[in-house]
Amino acid sequence: MFDGPLSAELDPGERRARLRLARSARIGPVTFHEALGHFGSARAACARLDTIGDAAVTREENALAKAGGRFLVFGDPAYPPALAALPDAPAVLSAIGDLGLLSRPTVAVVGAREASLAACRLAGELAGALGEAGFVVASGLARGIDAAAHQAALATGTVAVLAGGIDQVYPPQNAGLQAAIAAGGLLLSESPWGAPPVARAFPRRNRIVSGLSQGVVVIEAAARSGSLITAHRAAEQGRDVFVVPGSPADPRYAGSNSLIRDGAILTRDVKDILSVIQPPRSGPQVPVKPREKSAHPEASQVLSALGSVPTLVDELVRRCQVSAATVAEVLLALELEGRLERHRGNRVSLI
């Protein structure tokens, strides 16, 4: 990824070139950053590549401005630093609402679209408690868990990341909630104005939800739930993954329980989240019992198998001949001590 400065204002010509490059055909986020690194600037890239014309960018910018929004271009001071650090950081985001929310610590709450009433109630309780603790709550504005989390966090701050263009209302039943977030929270979209929410856009949206956040809370995820994509991307990005457990006999929790088996943090209430992610100083003080370090005798065995070269977690389980749960607990303890780094593809290394 291009490592240009993110704090100073972009030169207007370079910013415009980045918009053109980002909106050009066959230029995804990874290609965008590779082009910046190869050519040295978007201006130089646009001079050498077949990119979209300036008029098309102007039309989209005018439509966005008419709706009360603006572009956040990679390199803008207001661009979220947590996203900027990702190798596939969005080249440009459309934004409508309160950009100040992007400077506050964020936790994502995601889960089933066809969620049970009990799960939606719990999502609202957790989102509300996180808001009271000073966190912004991020989600994907889907039915069920996402909608419940957004609704509960409207008063304290919520960010909704859309799969389609920022002008697209999806799902239709969340039209009122989407308008409320635009007025009192923040809407973000990587997709161009007018783009429908096609299937391939949802995984891309999910990486932004997790990338904005310090941690992701998963509630009621089935075996093939899209929330698992968000959880896996969160782990690849080095974010904490919190999961509410369910009955092994309930298929609505098959994905959730598999995440816990693979090392996610079992979550019963907001204290389990705040024991890992410290609340902002401006938030109210919530009494939290610190998490105890792993006391497994196999910890030294796992530690000796780790090094500076990233290693698959599954390989650690095989090599150390201990359970996946034990390895996950040891890795979590090392991570909390600042001694472990997580990499894409479920790999870890010692710092």
**Selection from 124, 130, 159, 86 nearest residue 278 by Cα:** 130
User: Is pLDDT of 342 > 90?
Assistant: no
Query: How much of the chain, in percent, has pLDDT values that exceed 90?
Result: 72
Number of other CB atoms surrounding residue 194 within 10 Å: 12
**Look-up of token digits 């240009």:** 4
Q: What DSSP string runs through 64-95?
A: HHHTTEEEEETT-TTS-HHHHTSTT--SEEEE
Residue 121, SS3? helix
Model confidence band, residue 313 (pLDDT cutoffs 50, 70, 90)? confident
Residue 349, SS3? strand
Quote the CA–CA distance of 161 and 8 in Å, as a whole number.
25
User: Is pLDDT of 59 > 50?
Assistant: yes
What per-residue confidence (pLDDT) applies to 272? 95
- Domains, the chain, with CATH or none: 12-97 (no CATH), 100-274 (3.40.50.450), 299-350 (1.10.10.10)
pLDDT in tens, 195-234: 999 999 999 999 999 999 999 999 999 988 889 999 999 9
pLDDT in tens, 122-178: 999 999 999 999 999 999 999 999 999 999 999 999 999 999 999 999 999 999 999
